[in-house]
Amino acid sequence: MEIREAGLGDLSGIVEFHSRARVAYYGAGGLPTEEILTPELAREQREGWAAAITSARKQVRVAIVDGVLAGVLAMGPPHSSDLDPRTTAQLYQIHVDPGLWGRGVGGALHALFVRHLADEGLALGVLEVWERNTRARAFYTRHGWRPDGTSRPGPARTPYVGMQLTHP
């Protein structure tokens, strides 16, 4: 597996497997596919990834397995103005192509986020995860993340819940 900085040439591949991942985790949580894959959401997703890849403040990395895009990590300063970017980083997204789940891609991308915390001398990592995404919540819990008591509205009247990782 190779992990490298994402470029705009990776955009279509990222959007493709991110869409498959969204169908898998939102679908497992009971959200119908027609609510997950809409033209408007596809446009927003493409624009969002392009903005993240070209952002000076965010970092986007891709995992390559057997020459194919397999996963993506986006991270950077916290969205919340209540959190100090001098001590905290946000893990915006980790997505792995569902056909490669369980092969260590997500773990490798997560390890890169933890290494970012250490390299930057940051004490805290934060993220949000859809409450019904039990697979992701279990993944983050296995990696030391704990609920932080925050939430915001999400699809199907199910919130995104905040989690944090304290880095020694």
In 3D, which of 72, 68, 122, 120 has the Cα closest to residue 96?
72
Residue 24's pLDDT is 86
Q: What SS3 class is residue 15?
A: helix
In 3D, which of 91, 89, 98, 100 has the Cα closest to residue 65?
100
Residue 37's pLDDT is 79
Residue 31's pLDDT is 79
pLDDT, one tens digit per residue, over 32-73 is 787 777 888 889 999 999 999 999 999 999 999 999 999 999
Segment 135-159 shows an average pLDDT of 95
Q: Is the predicted pLDDT of residue 166 greater than 90, yes or no?
A: yes
Residue 39's pLDDT is 84
pLDDT, one tens digit per residue, over 75-129 is 999 999 999 999 999 999 999 998 898 999 999 999 999 999 999 999 999 999 9
Question: Cα angle at 48 between 137 and 95, to 5 degrees?
Answer: 30
What are residue 165's DSSP bridge partners?
Answer: 125
Residue 23's pLDDT is 85
